[in-house]
Structure 1
Amino acid sequence: MIAHIIPSLEFGGAERMLLKLCLCDKKNNIVFYFKTGPILSDLNKQGVKSFKINSFIDLCRVLFRLNLRSNLVVNCWLYKSCIFGGFIKILNSSIPVYFNHRNSLDCKNKYGMKRRFVLYLVYKLSKYVDGVIYNSESGYKTYQIKYNQCTNQIVLPNGFDDQIFMPGNRSKLGDFRHNLGINDYELVFVCSGRNHSVKRYDIIIEAFSKFNEKINNKAKLLICGTDTKNLKTIIPDFCRDSIILVGEVTNMIKYYQISDYLLLYSDTEGFPNVVGEAMLCGLPAIVSDVGDCRKLVEDTGWVGNSGDVLNLVSILYSAYNVSSIEYRNRSDRAVEIITKKYSINNIYEKYLRFFYAS
């Protein structure tokens, strides 16, 4: 039995990866969460057991009971859960506890006092746990500097389901495009991510506006994610009809399928779900050179410099000018990479081997 502890069930990268792992074996995964969110309904629909935790004491009681009845492993997602899991390990050393880090620490922004204190706690508690999982090579490297004491470590990237994400039939999605205000001849770039400073929507919007003006407004930019509708204040007046603020989306498949390129230009990432999902749908990706983005896209997309507007304008223009043959080759290769290297079933098997061979 794998008991997953996660702070919330919001629609973030960690939560979505948790859902995918649980769906690989619904009977042997159980989820404990502190705050509800849209992922909860998906867990319930699929028959995955999940329980809301109100306090650390409640969590200890449940896990101690489960440990008596089953071959329990505790998988702690994100910092809050890692801190709880570290103290659980101290209280009951017979329970295998693993930290699961979903980020890399390469952000240009300085960490505040609260974040530094949390990282210090995670560092101190890491010497007690049975193993640490990173979802990216960059995450592994940056945590080694001063935030980890556990020697049993592994990089397990996000996995993707090619039975869910796949290229769409554009002729059948015409009405969906038109309802969003997209003409048949327009090139479509799509972003998916919450409205947060590290996502650099300011850079994306400025670069897209400059690029679209150069090509006489023949492109559209879809921005999907929590609180993204609040970005309307930074969109130039001349580009308001070309940038569509969709807001939070719980199922991105159709948005990928009606688009031509994924655009992710963050200051920091680990191993971004959205890139793998979009690639499975046949989209070449335009990404900044952070986290494992370069490793993921390989030769199918473009890798640029985070924070560099002119660099992104140049890349957008390069993508706009590719021939139909080159685009098809990049698209097919993107699907092939994710299917062969990042199948969710293969990733789940690697989790099991790490947990039960440690």
Structure 2
Amino acid sequence: MASAGRTRILYVISGLTRGGAERQLYLLLKHMDRAAFEPAVVSLGGPGPVGEAIRDLGVPVTELPRRGRLEVRRLAALHRIVRAFRPHILQTFMLADTLYGFAAGRLAGVPVLLTSRRTDRYTEFPRLLRKLNEVAWRWADAIICPSHRAVSHVPARFAARHVVIPNGVEPLPVRRDRAAVRRSLGIAPDAFVVGTVGRLVPAKNHARFVEVAGAVAARRPDAAFLLVGGGQLEADIRAMVRERGLDGRVVMTGERTDVGDLLGAMDVFLLTSDREGLCNAVMEAMLAGVPCVVTDVGGNPELVKDGESGMVRTPAAPALAEAVLRLASNGSLRRSLGEAGRRRMEAEFGVGATTRATERLYRRLLAARVPRSPAPAERPAVEKVAR
């Protein structure tokens, strides 16, 4: 049952395995003003490591995994949870959890419905998915976007509902020194290490990472490559590494919990994605002082200022390889870009500031009780993040 006095917020999310949205939910709950807000979480998937971490914060987590084809039962169960908790705000993250969450929230009369959109590729979605998104957006009081580019492709009539609040970042724990980490991975202490962190899914395009690795390895005998993460394409990427004769050069770790240590073993962080919102892994690498080479997609250029705090390149292997090779031959440039990236993360993307911005949005929406009729065409709002 809900307690009186605090603003109750129910978060409905598709699952709590490791991923960007899941990481941001965890950070928000970790830094939230719990004297003012009472959170609870419903996962529409099974148990996951982020769910356990959220429980460790003292936040209740309920799991409603799919059981057969009768999805109406899951919706009914979610509706019962909403009625029992009586949230002032219900927030969702992806399309599936938004459709479930908003349906249950409207039936229960939740005052404020809030969702997010985390990619700039909306116009490339199949027509049915675009229409389903627009149905959900009609119900939303606000739609949080982590980057301005994520807003730029939406229909104008929904622009006023989009609020830009960037992802927040905090330092990852570092428990071992660089030499020890490299030794544990079988990487030479004086190697030039290019690494990446992310789920092995199509949007991240790790095949392009392997292609860049091949091009760099051909010109830098001292180069090694570190690919951190697991996922549906792991077997395919391992096969590609073997086919290209990179078995001894590319280290694939699978999913790891010591990402802070692994970032410390890298000389350059390389992101080869085709699609991004605002990449948590890039933010964590920058905060760790690792110079980043990223593709010009999603919010990447809003994180990495090309030539100032990293390098932004077209999503093509030759351009990315040339950027990596330039950094390989210029240690002072690596150090200056890495330090500039670290300062940028500290100054503009601290998780405390982004959490406060989210809390201000909650208060503003509750005070205004924005009607759910379609919004006029306006510029998206930007929730000010205190620096």
Match in the other structure for 1:253: 260
d(CA) in 2 for partners of 1:233 and 1:183?
24
How do 1:49-198 and structure 2 match up within 5 A?
Answer: 49-53=60-64, 55-67=74-86, 72-105=88-121, 111-112=125-126, 116-144=127-155, 149=158, 151-162=160-171, 164=172, 172-198=177-203
Alpha-carbon contact 2:90-2:105 (below 8 Å) kept? no
d(CA) in 2 for partners of 1:84 and 1:350?
26
Alpha-carbon contact 1:26-1:47 (below 8 Å) kept? no
1:222 aligns with 2:238: no
d(CA) in 1 for partners of 2:109 and 2:59?
27
Match in the other structure for 1:34: 44
Alpha-carbon contact 1:126-1:150 (below 8 Å) kept? no
Query: What secondary structure sits across from 2:139 in the alignment?
Result: coil
Q: Which amino acid aligns with 1:24?
A: H
Query: What secondary structure sits across from 1:160 in the alignment?
Result: coil
d(CA) in 2 for partners of 1:320 and 1:173?
18
What is the alpha-carbon root mean square deviation over aligned residues? 2.1
Deviation at 1:201, TM superposition (A): 1.6
Query: What secondary structure sits across from 2:116 in the alignment?
Result: strand
Cα deviation per residue 1:224-247 (whole Å; 9 max; x = unaligned)? 112364112112453211101111
1:89–1:180: structure 2 CA closer, same or farther, 3 Å change rule? same
Deviation at 1:181, TM superposition (A): 0.9
Match in the other structure for 2:314: 305
Aligned pair partner of 2:350 in 325, 329, 343:
343
Alpha-carbon contact 1:129-1:150 (below 8 Å) kept? no
Deviation at 1:94, TM superposition (A): 4.3
Aligned pair partner of 1:321 in 308, 313, 329:
329
Aligned length: 341
Deviation at 1:309, TM superposition (A): 2.0
Segment of structure 1 superposing worse, 228-237 or 261-270: 228-237
d(CA) in 1 for partners of 2:234 and 2:107?
45
Deviation at 1:204, TM superposition (A): 1.6
Cα deviation per residue 1:290-342 (whole Å; 9 max; x = unaligned)? 01111201122111111x2211221111111113x332222211111001101
d(CA) in 2 for partners of 1:251 and 1:169?
8
Query: What secondary structure sits across from 1:185 in the alignment?
Result: coil
d(CA) in 2 for partners of 1:220 and 1:92?
55
Deviation at 1:89, TM superposition (A): 4.3
Alpha-carbon contact 1:190-1:262 (below 8 Å) kept? yes
Query: What secondary structure sits across from 1:241 in the alignment?
Result: coil
Larger RCO (CA within 8 A; separation ≥ 6): 2
d(CA) in 1 for partners of 2:98 and 2:253?
33
Q: Which amino acid aligns with 1:313?
A: A
Segment of structure 1 superposing worse, 206-215 or 336-345: 206-215
For structure 1, the 5+ residue unaligned runs are none
How do 1:260-279 and structure 2 match up within 5 A?
Answer: 260-279=267-286
Q: Which amino acid aligns with 2:274?
A: D
Query: What secondary structure sits across from 2:24 in the alignment?
Result: helix
Segment of structure 1 superposing worse, 294-303 or 5-14: 294-303
1:2–1:185: structure 2 CA closer, same or farther, 3 Å change rule? same
Alpha-carbon contact 1:11-1:250 (below 8 Å) kept? no
d(CA) in 1 for partners of 2:51 and 2:251?
28
Q: Which amino acid aligns with 1:149?
A: F
1:119–1:37: structure 2 CA closer, same or farther, 3 Å change rule? farther
1:211 aligns with 2:216: yes
1:213–1:169: structure 2 CA closer, same or farther, 3 Å change rule? farther
